[in-house]
Structure 1
Amino acid sequence: MSSPCDPKHAPAGDVGAALMMIDSRLKGIYDGATETDPEQRALIDQYTASLGPRGANAVLDGTCTLIFMFMKWLRLAYEDHGKDVIEYVVPNLVATMRMMPRSVRPEAIPTMAGLLIAAGTGLSPNLWRKQYGFWTKDEMTPLEVTAFLLAEHINRLTDDRDFATRMIAQALPEPDED
């Protein structure tokens, strides 16, 4: 029986824009930034505002697609070593989010853990979340943090600062060349 949260029913969204935002954050951290560069934040905010509601929803869907793809890669990697992705990834990410109270409010952590578990079991994180209502403004930063932490986890596992971004970029369809 097919689940209503099956990824085949989920919109992919604007994965490219979501990836650009996560990659920008990764590069900032790897370059030694401890705080978000105000100029970078302003550019991201300006870009996000220019999208309009449809575009913002597409980036939201794209971020959920990234979470799904990252968790799928992690699931396969951990299974290759006889380990469970949920056992090894979710507690670490939850613990990290708990140390980020300015970015991730405590009440958002269970939702983010649920998204990770949904993706780790092969369900669409976005469709899983939507069954509980619409996304809230307070969940936007934690969602971005979740995708960021997954990408950073993958990069650490592979000892390659660009692996997660490159993996997704290579999976994206090439634009038609006319």
Structure 2
Amino acid sequence: MSSSCDPQYAPAGDVGAALMMIDSRLKSIRDGSTASDLEQRALTEQVVASLGPGGAEEVLDGTCTIIYMFMTWLRQAHEAEDKDVIEYVVPTLVATLRRMPRSIRPEAIPTMAGLVVAAGTGLSPNLWRRQYGDWTEEEMNPLEATAFLLAEHINRITDDPDFATRTIASALSLAEEGA
């Protein structure tokens, strides 16, 4: 039986722009960049503004698509080890988000956990979230942090600092070739 949150009904969004922002954040943290969070936020806003009308929503949908793809990869990796992805990913994600009180408001953490559980069970994160109303400004930092933390988790599992973004970029290239 098909769900209204089935990924086939979800807009993919601007996965390329979302991936660029996630990759930029990963590299700045890994390289110990001195760019402040305000500078990173200004860069993000500049990129979204350059995308034109609806650009922010396209990047938001793209970020949700990436979260879905990350959780699909993580689910397959955990199932290969006879483990439950929810059991191994969600508690670590929640604990990490809780340690970020300046960037992540506590009331956004259950939404991010639900978003990841939805993706981990094969549902579209953006359609799952839309059931509960429009996205709020307070959820943007947690959403970005969630995508970043999932990418970093995958990179640690694979012992490759670029594996997560490279995997998405490869999938994006294949999709463009097939279009």
Q: TM-score normalised to the size of structure 2?
A: 0.93
Residues matched between the structures, number: 176
Closer/same/farther in 2, CA of residues 34 and 103 from structure 1, 3 Å limit: farther
SS state at 1:173 partner: helix
**Range 42-51 or range 58-67, more displaced:** 42-51
Write the distance in 1 (CA, Å) between the matches of 2:156 and 2:86: 17
Write the distance in 2 (CA, Å) between the matches of 1:143 and 1:84: 23
Write the distance in 1 (CA, Å) between the matches of 2:35 and 2:117: 29
1:37-76, CA deviations, whole angstroms, 9 ceiling, x for partnerless residues?
A: 6544432221222334411111000000000000000000
Write the distance in 1 (CA, Å) between the matches of 2:37 and 2:9: 37
The sequence identity of aligned pairs, in percent, is: 75
Query: Residue 74 of structure 2 contacts residue 85 of structure 2 at CA under 8 Å; is this kept in 1?
Result: yes
Structure 2 counterpart of 1:30? 30
Write the distance in 1 (CA, Å) between the matches of 2:34 and 2:109: 22
Structure 2 counterpart of 1:68? 68
SS state at 2:133 partner: coil
Gaps of 5+ in 2: none
Q: TM-score normalised to the size of structure 1?
A: 0.93
SS state at 2:51 partner: helix
Query: Residue 28 of structure 1 contacts residue 36 of structure 1 at CA under 8 Å; is this kept in 2?
Result: no
Closer/same/farther in 2, CA of residues 38 and 140 from structure 1, 3 Å limit: closer
Once the two structures are TM-superposed, the CA of residue 153 in structure 1 deviates from its matched residue by: 0.2
**RMSD (CA atoms):** 1.6
| 1:98-177 paired onto structure 2 within 5 Å | 98-173=98-173
Write the distance in 2 (CA, Å) between the matches of 1:135 and 1:84: 28
Structure 2 counterpart of 1:82? 82
Structure 2 counterpart of 1:58? 58
Once the two structures are TM-superposed, the CA of residue 36 in structure 1 deviates from its matched residue by: 3.2
Write the distance in 1 (CA, Å) between the matches of 2:162 and 2:39: 23
The runs of 4+ residues in structure 1 deviating greater than 6 Å are none
